[in-house]
Chains A and B, each alone.
Chain A
Amino acid sequence: MWLWFAKLGSPKWFYELSSKWLPWLVGAMAITLAVATVWALLYLPPDYQQGFTSRILIVHVAVAGTSLAFFPLMAVAGTITLVWKMKLADMVAKNAAALGAWFSFITLATGSIWGSVSWGTWWEWSDSRLVSMLFQFFLLLGVVSLRSALEDSDKAAKACALLSIVGCINVVVIKYSVEWWNTLHQPASPVSIESGSANGPEFWIATALMILGVYLFMSVSLILSTRNEILRRERRALWVQELLHESD
Chain B
Amino acid sequence: MKPSTLTAFVLTLKRDLLIAFKRKNDIVNPFMFFVIVVSLFPLAISPEPARLAEISSGVIWIAVLLSAMLSMDSLFRADFEDGSLEMLLLSPHPLFFLVLAKNIAHWLVSGLPVVVASPLLGYMLKLPADAYATLMLTLLIGTPTLSLIGSIAVALTVGLGSRGLILAVITLPFSVPVLIFGTLAVQASAGGLPAGGYLALMLALLAGSLSLAPLTSAAALRISVS
Contact = CB atoms under 8 A, between A and B. Distances in A.
A123 to B, nearest CB: 17
The binding surface of chain A is classed by DSSP as helix
Contacts of A184: 184
A180 B200 CA distance: 14
Given A141-B169, A181-B184, A173 B177 contact: yes
A42 interface: no
A3 B176 CA distance: 43
Contact of B156 (A139, A162, A170, A174): A162
B226 interface: yes
Contact of B157 (A135, A149, A174): A149
Contacts of A178: 176, 180
Given A139-B173, A162-B216, A181-B184, A145 B166 contact: yes
Contact of B220 (A138, A159, A167): A159
Interface in B165-206: 166, 169-170, 172-174, 176-177, 180-181, 184, 205
The binding surface of chain B is classed by DSSP as helix
A155 B173 contact: no
A138 to B, nearest CB: 4
Given A173-B177, A178-B180, A146 B166 contact: yes
Interface in B23-48: none
A166 B175 CA distance: 12
B51 interface: no
Interface in A137-173: 138-139, 141-142, 145-146, 149-150, 155, 158-159, 162-163, 166-167, 170, 173
Interface string B66-107: 000000000000000000000000000000000000000000
Nearest to B216: A166
Given A145-B169, A149-B157, A159-B224, A166 B152 contact: yes
Interface in A63-89: none
Interface of B: 152-153, 156-157, 159-160, 163, 166, 169-170, 172-174, 176-177, 180-181, 184, 205, 216, 219-220, 223-224, 226
24 contacts: A135-B176, A138-B169, A138-B172, A138-B173, A139-B174, A141-B169, A145-B166, A146-B166, A149-B160, A149-B166, A150-B157, A150-B159, A150-B160, A155-B224, A158-B223, A162-B219, A163-B152, A163-B156, A163-B170, A170-B174, A174-B173, A174-B177, A177-B180, A177-B181
Given A138-B172, A158-B223, 17 more contacts: A139-B174, A142-B169, A145-B169, A145-B170, A146-B166, A149-B160, A150-B157, A150-B159, A155-B226, A159-B156, A163-B156, A173-B177, A173-B205, A174-B173, A174-B176, A177-B177, A184-B184
